[in-house]
Amino acid sequence: MKIPFIDLHRQYMQYKKEIDKQIAEVLDSSMYIGGEKVTLLEEKLAEFSGSKKAIVCSSGTDALLLSLMALGIKNGDEVITTPFTFIATAEVIVLLGATPVFVDIDEKTYNIDPKKIEEKITKNTKALLPISLYGQPADMDEINQIAKKYDIKVIEDGCQSFGATYKDKKSCNLSDIGCTSFFPSKPLGCYGDGGAVFTNDEELAKKIKMLLNHGQNKRYKHKYIGINGRLDTIQAAVLLVKLKYFQNEVKQREEIGKRYTKLLKDSDIITPYVKSDRSSVYAQYSIRVKNRDEVISRLNKQGIPTAVHYPMPLHLQECFGHLGYKEGDFEVAEKVSKEIMSLPMSPFLDKKDQDSIVKELL
């Protein structure tokens, strides 16, 4: 038995004719950066999310970086986020000379615990950067209320949650700015790196658009110091096809995620907890077990791939040593990082394969 962790090949074969046609159009046009397909994709993404503006860019990491740059985050500023996430979330804060201030997570959702945010706010706090981890939006109402109280901005890191809903609104349209990633393994993925920034603020959107193109407002006229953060046109072409079928894939993801949970409900395995007022796109189906190494070894021997998202919280990473955190500072994140593991997950996971995975787990 050999089960793919994410079945990207099967997905490609499903949409092959349309994807190949779109890519061929780009090649025939010789328009590899920008152009009509990029503009159309931005329009379609804004429509899907409910945001006024969607700005596509070169990666989810750059989406976060551009958002912070647009808000003027700089040396000496502080941005509150969680230590239980991919490194990019905190990395971009440090790249701008600012300081990531970590807040522990909720043990059930693995998202930032809003009850612990206010105690970390100082006069230097300029933004809150919650992560909608594993596909489920964070507690955005509570987070937005705190931000309003202290007059600070909120950026949702929705790099794993695009397509999920929170109280009938879409992830990435829940705060001042939302960001997502189109890395191939994401719920909506392209065939390389890609990302997008979402906002309802027209001025922020204009600034982000300039920042991702070297701060340029007219050809060879530069208003800001920016980056080369453009999305290439071939990736836009791929995403235009995939976006047509994305809502159906979101539904399939939810069905598969719920089926996993139902099949595992009588076991000692801790399955994902999704709050009743929101949905998850199950970017990963992540469970918690006490004997993780043993479970992973057993599954791998049967041709079942696994992953660990994430084995070490950010506050314990060597690159953040200058922040002065130590083991024990964020007990929930540290506990979860020792038990978490992810199972194969995609909209194309067969029931028989899912049954085989569960059988080996139990």
pLDDT by residue (tens digit) across 93-123?
999 999 999 999 999 999 999 999 999 999 9
Q: What is the pLDDT of residues 46-91, one digit of tens each?
A: 999 999 999 999 999 999 999 999 999 999 999 999 999 999 999 9
How many angstroms separate the CA atoms of 146 and 198, rounded? 21
pLDDT at 1: 67
CA distances from 83 to 183, 254, 329 (A): 21, 26, 10
What are the distances in angstroms from CA 175 to CA 132, 145, 171, 294? Answer: 12, 10, 9, 41
pLDDT of residue 91: 98
What whole-number distance in Å separates Cα of residue 278 and Cα of residue 63?
A: 24
Domain ranges of the chain: 8-103+110-239, 246-361
Quote the pLDDT of residue 2: 87
What is the distance between the alpha carbons of residues 254 and 157, in angstroms, rounded to a whole number? Answer: 20
Contact 309, 134 (CB under 8 A): yes
Q: What is the band of 350 on the pLDDT scale with cuts at 50, 70, 90?
A: very high
Residues 8-103+110-239, CATH architecture: 3-Layer(aba) Sandwich (3.40)
Give the DSSP H or E segment for 254: helix 233-263
Q: Which two tokens stand for residue 70?
A: 């647009």
**How many whole angstroms separate alpha carbon 275 and alpha carbon 283?**
16
On whether the CB atoms of residues 143 and 117 are closer than 8 A, the answer is yes
Beta-strand pair 125-128/153-157: parallel
Residue 119 pLDDT = 98
Burial of 358 (0-12, 13-18, 19+ CB in 10 A): middle
Q: Which CATH number is 246-361's, of 3.40.50.2000, 3.30.450.40, 3.30.565.10, 3.90.1150.10?
A: 3.90.1150.10
pLDDT tens per residue, range 276-297 = 999 999 999 999 999 999 999 9
